[in-house]
Structure 1
């Protein structure tokens, strides 16, 4: 059946609110390649929105899923537990950059992880307030929409949102927001909106995802840690997009050794394509909710738990953190060499790299340039994603396992487009 027929069926059967970028349908995928139903191949620099750091269908991930499928697919851990859930928690407890004794619990989606991190913080502190930042993305549920700092398309028409959520400014030198400005906005919240003694947690992304791959300055993160310590507030690091070797370290929080978080949320690449998320934190905080206060029917699905074990194995065995740094440096050098006048900034860590585009004449955000580059790349069978509060940023989320030759070919496509702006 043609793409056009299937697209019409999609429009007839599914709501318009589920926005779809590509007009073709996936048939098969392998590592960094997607093949559509008509046999056309695409290089995937989106990776299911940062889900596939280990690539499509990594053999070890698939083998782990097969083994678990032959055993059982579901019991609900809260009813009949299983050992691989416990051993995965033990592995993450050893890996996450959190001080002291650590405990971990599992859920299904990133939004679930964020919601439960907030629940844990509120239970541990007895406080209601949560502070997050402009440009943040934390999910699509009612609470996580409230936490998200970008209106369109995530919040449009869906209010009112839960209270006791406040947005400070995230530092962004390109947009004229200094670290001092960001910290002053927190002080303003404490004086105008909610007393610090009523704030349970500050949640931040070490590298913003949907906000445009903005990297938190160390000075800012260290100040957040000090502020939290001063007022008894918990610091939550949302590592849902930045985790599992994407930034050149297992977790982006490792770049801030003096500002370790109290709680961390994880998801996306943890499962290698299978839905799983996690919250890790200091043991005394994780134990704050009463028995039954945490969980979910599918939380910590045994097949996804099995694939997550395989993902951790692959990251270590194939040294994907180091590879992220190598690939990211190559990408940045290639883009810099294009001397495209619309490129306002190249930024990121490891292979969590983005390019922001502004109008060369006015300096205003240029989402039309980013969209044009995205479409021209797609026409040449390279899948790219945009992001940023103005939609003028292209982010690169290729699998870290991408073959060198395929990566080089993709960069040739990208640089060819950047060298011939329209």
Structure 2
């Protein structure tokens, strides 16, 4: 499409990038067919094509209104539209640029500001989230069922990562919310990788990947977290760590983008590109290995929910399912597997009504195939689905770990 960006937009750090993305869009509308919010609301401005047009208007100098902010806020950033787009429009990059401009011009209501600031203050701090979970455990009998089901199961706290002892070493991003809500995920990862001769090397100084801040009106804070993680990982990268692995696909999608987001930073551009190149989702590591040493005894029928970040951002749709089949699991059919569950980072808290509608649709598809449990690959999806599902919801690596042929001392 033709663009006529305003002088102020041309001066933006990513102004040229925005113009290039806008011009790559031909407004064909294929994206609307796979947009979850367009399917729910039927409003052109709540689909990718409409949001692209809104951002175009903003960057061309049109007045920015609360309505503009609302329609951009309703976007899940699921990137399903990118998987559908025949022109390769980098919608998520344009959305990030547009949101930053709109956020700077439209003041949010006090309630929204407090919610977003509260989420940014709490969720990236694992120790604080764990402390709140401990309080929640004490109050568990008094909590409403949806909130109670978000707490980690007491048994999930067991499991200690084995010490590094193999020649092959990987770094593991332990995450922030996941460390509190699903602490067994990383422990299970370490046990499975240990069976395959790969040691997990901790990086205690690494913290939140930065995605939460970046997508909650604090892009510069998100990038500062990215730089801190790069600094934390860099000694091990120089020492020969073969990969930086994420067990939460939401974190993985953002780490994979470090190189792009920091490409103009003279101090971090090269390092960020190297970190992004080393970034791996856990399934990428396991699919390249011979899984025979795992000796899995797979007896459960699993419905797999593929997170949007795994299939649309990382382009790894179908990979976990293929691995589970290799390991002998039986998979239940899941209709419309490309659709979002409504978690989308903090979307379930900032847009709860839409999020619940999306979750209800996803659970209907996941629970209709006679599965015994639901597996996923992202802590946000796991917690969101688990709060309403009739079936247990686990990270897929926990299911694999539980099915291992355990040695006598671990039985």
Q: Which has the higher contact order (CA 8 A, sep 6+)?
A: 1
Whose strand proportion is higher, 1 or 2?
A: 1
Whose helix proportion is higher, 1 or 2?
A: 2
Please confirm whether the aligned pair reaches a TM-score higher than 0.5, indicating the same fold: no
With normalisation by structure 2, the TM-score equals: 0.29
